[in-house]
Amino acid sequence: MTTAIYPGSFDPITLGHLNIIRRAAGIFDKVVVCVMVNSAKTPMFTLEERMELIERVVSRLKNVKVDTSDILLAEYAKRYEHAVIVKGLRAVSDYESEVQMALVNSKMNRRLETVFLPSSQKYTYLSSTVVKEMAKYGSDLREFVPVEILQDVIERANKGR
């Protein structure tokens, strides 16, 4: 059984993330969406909130689970018998840093492969940062975030105004 680990900040989960999750769930036996702790960023949603938002969005995808990790991804992956890392690639700009990370991870854990899925053309422009920016200005977010969490994002953005 191969488990695909999909790591990220997911602050918040976007339709671009969900597209990658669905596609990975169709390829691998199991997908673990892993919310990584990144102390360098000040998030819009707490770790627990981000996990809950993702859980709500993926609840109908039976082979998708949500987890969190504050250790190195290469170490975390050792918890699974056969794990691969899944990453979405939006543009050439993602490529350089993602390939660098993939090489670092395979250096630390030789059995760990990284699989890249090209972003769907519809979502190549989309990032959590874009969502937060649009939310601040009261834009229509329906094309960016899953409907299940739309209200949460709007309310959180309004609080910060």
The catalytic site residues sit at 17, 41, 90, 128
The size of the interface with ligand ADP (CB under 6 A), counted in residues, is 17
Q: What is the nearest approach in angstroms of ligand ADP to the Cβ of residue 1? A: 23
Verify binding: residue 17, ligand ADP, rule CB under 6 A.
Answer: yes
β-pairing verdict for 2-8 and 30-36: parallel
State how far Cα 82 lies from the chain centre.
20
Mask for 77-96, x = binds ligand ADP (CB under 6 A): ----------xx-x---x--
The residues near 51 (Cβ < 8 Å, ≥ 6 apart) are 35, 66, 68
Q: What is the nearest approach in angstroms of ligand ADP to the Cβ of residue 104? A: 14
What is the dihedral sign for C-alpha 136, 69, 8, 32?
negative
Verify binding: residue 12, ligand ADP, rule CB under 6 A.
Answer: no
Report angle CA 143, 148, 152 to the nearest 5 degrees. 90
Mask for 100-119, x = binds ligand ADP (CB under 6 A): -------------------x
- Give the HSE-up count for residue 17: Cα atoms under 13 Å, Cβ half-sphere: 29
Verify binding: residue 3, ligand ADP, rule CB under 6 A.
Answer: no
Verify binding: residue 123, ligand ADP, rule CB under 6 A.
Answer: yes
